[in-house]
Structure 1
Amino acid sequence: MDHTEFLQHLRGLYPDAEFLEHGGTVFVMYDPDGRLLPERTRPFVTVVPDDAHDTASDLARPGVYRVNIGVSPDTYRAHFGPPPRTGTDGLVSTGHDFTMLDTLLPHPVYAPMSWVCVLSPCAATVAALRPLLDEAYARAVQNHAQAGRPRGPAGTLPG
Structure 2
Amino acid sequence: MGIDEIIEYIEKFEGVLSLKPGPGDGTPEVAWGDAFFYYSPEGVVPTTTQPFATIVTKDYPEDEASRLNRPGAFRVNIAAGKDAFAAWTGRAPRDPRPGGEDPSAADAVIAHPVYGELGWLAVVNPGPRTDGAVRELLGTAHDLARERYRRRAAT
Q: TM-score range by the shorter chain?
A: 0.7 to 0.9
Residue 81 (structure 2) aligned to one of 29, 49, 72: 72
Tell me the amino acid that sits aligned with residue 146 of structure 1: R
The two structures have a TM-score, normalised by structure 1, of 0.79
1:88 is matched with which residue?
Answer: none
Q: CA deviation at 1:61?
A: 0.8
Please state how far the C-alpha of 1:93 moved relative to its aligned partner: 4.5
Q: What is the root-mean-square deviation of aligned Cα atoms in Å?
A: 2.1
Deviation at 1:138, TM superposition (A): 0.5
Any conservation in 2 of the 1:102–1:120 contact (CA below 8 Å)? yes
The question of 1:82 aligning with 2:87 is answered no
**Aligned residue number for residue 20 of structure 2:** 21
Q: Which has the larger radius of gyration?
A: 1
CA displacement at 1:149 relative to structure 2: 1.9
SS in structure 1 opposite 2:121? strand
Partner of 1:141: 146
Q: C-alpha distance in 2, partners of 1:56/1:45? A: 19
Which consecutive unaligned segments of at least 5 residues does structure 1 have?
86-91, 151-159
- Residue number in structure 2 paired with 1:63: 72
Given the alignment of the two structures, is residue 11 of structure 1 paired with residue 41 of structure 2, yes or no?
no
**Inter-partner Cα distance in structure 1 for 2:139 and 2:75:** 18
Q: Report the TM-score when normalising by structure 2.
A: 0.81
Deviation track 1:96-142 (CA, whole Å, cap 9, x = no partner) reads 10010000000000000000000010255222322211110100110
Cα distance change of structure 1 residues 75 and 5 upon mapping to structure 2, 3 Å threshold: closer
Structural mapping, 1:27-46, within 5 Å: 27-34=36-43, 38-46=46-54
State the Cα distance separating 1:7 from its structure 2 match: 1.4
What is the Cα deviation at residue 73 of structure 1?
1.1
Identity over the aligned pairs, expressed in percent? 32
The answer to whether the 8 A contact 1:84-1:94 is kept is no
Aligned length: 142
**How far is the alpha carbon of 1:39 from its aligned partner?**
2.4
Give the C-alpha shift of residue 60 in structure 1. Answer: 0.7
| Partner in structure 2 of residue 99 of structure 1 | 104
